[in-house]
Homo-oligomer: A and B are copies of this chain.
């Protein structure tokens, strides 16, 4: 939880998550979208990964990164639930949606 919020505090890392929302991307693909040195992006990716927000897989020379969407929604949902009791029913709805999503890929 702490790691997730720390990870989200940086705009470059949130942008990386947004890129990964649409497709799996290699570290180089991601880096090329930023005006920043590759090692910096690599570091951001490792922070996102140790927060559990993304996962990586090496294929050949490339390392592909993808989103772990549950970890984001679970953490944020859990927190919002704690702070804003109003939002509590959303969790059930979220679970229902997740099931629906499994059925129709």
Q: Which residues of A contact B (CB under 8 A)?
A: 2, 5-6, 8-9, 11, 14, 17-18, 20-21, 67, 69, 72-73, 76, 79-80, 82-87, 89-90, 93-94, 97-98, 101
Contacts and interface: CB of A to CB of B under 8 A. Distances in A.
A83 B69 contact: yes
Contacts of A98: 86
A89 B100 CA distance: 12
Number of this chain's copies in the complex: 2
Contacts of A2: 11
Given A8-B9, A9-B8, A73 B85 contact: no
A56 B98 CA distance: 38
A80 B76 CA distance: 8
A2 B13 CA distance: 12
Contact of A72 (B17, B21, B84, B97): B84
